[in-house]
A = this chain, B = another copy of it.
Amino acid sequence: MKNHTEIKALVFDVFGTIVDWRSGVAREAQSFLNRHAPGLNAFDFADAWRREYSPSMEEVRSGRRPYVRLDVLNRENLVSVLTHYGIVDVPDPEIDELNLAWHRLDPWPDAVAALCSLKRKFIIAPLSNGNIRLMVDIAKRVGLPWDAILGAEVARAYKPSPQVYSETVDILGLAPPELCLVAAHNSDLAAARQLGLTTAFVARPTEHGPHQRTDLKAEAAWDFVVDDLNELAQQLGCAD
């Protein structure tokens, strides 16, 4: 375990690390699917929508497309997925409403209490690919006590592009090791470490459902490796 006395701020991946997007999207999509595609499993639908996430951001990361916020990408991806399933002629307001599923995700059970503890000692903020309004809506609905909303929209780039991490370090006025990224994804942590950030892996072995095969454990010697965020709070001297 790394000496943590130099850490001044913690930033968090959100989708998968703080919130359970799969259960939330499935729950929010259920009534829509009941109306438009009664045979379709809501978890399969959530997984299909989520599969479009990385490729759509890659258009921006590669420079082929200027930065647009995730709400826009999510909506485009939703239309693709609906078309794929043969769900057509859905009125725009209904698509807009379903797109807000991502604004109504529930946190993992440990998240709110642990963030409240960590906030007493550190600056805490999301470092998500989600846009600011999306992050604010999630936080207000369930009480995530962020000090600021950082991430893709503030940096105008998508993780794991290096400028998202370096711009965040700069905004917070820190040296890179003073900023710790907390994430359930080894690739996110690897990108942060490249820029000199401190890294903390939290296991979320059911983010992708019961048959998840990726990110089941730390794949490098991250500075902290924990089973949940309360364990991280303890290791950082913030336990209640």
Seen from chain A, the residues whose Cβ lies within 8 Å of a Cβ on chain B are 71, 123, 131-133, 135-136, 139-140, 146-150, 153-154, 171-173
For A149, the chain B residues whose CB sits under 8 A away are 147-149
Q: Is the CB of A135 within 8 A of B153?
A: no
Q: Is the CB of A140 within 8 A of B154?
A: no
How many copies of this chain does the complex contain? Answer: 2
Q: Is the CB of A139 within 8 A of B133?
A: no
CA distance A146 to B135 in the complex (A): 13
CA distance A136 to B154 in the complex (A): 15
Q: Is the CB of B140 within 8 A of A123?
A: yes
Closest 5 CB pairs of A and B: A148-B149, A133-B173, A132-B171, A136-B147, A136-B148
5 A-B pairs with CB atoms under 8 Å apart are A123-B136, A136-B147, A146-B148, A147-B149, A148-B148
Nearest chain B CB to A123 CB, angstrom units: 6
For A140, the chain B residues whose CB sits under 8 A away are 123, 147
CA distance A32 to B171 in the complex (A): 27
For A132, the chain B residues whose CB sits under 8 A away are 148, 150, 154, 171-172
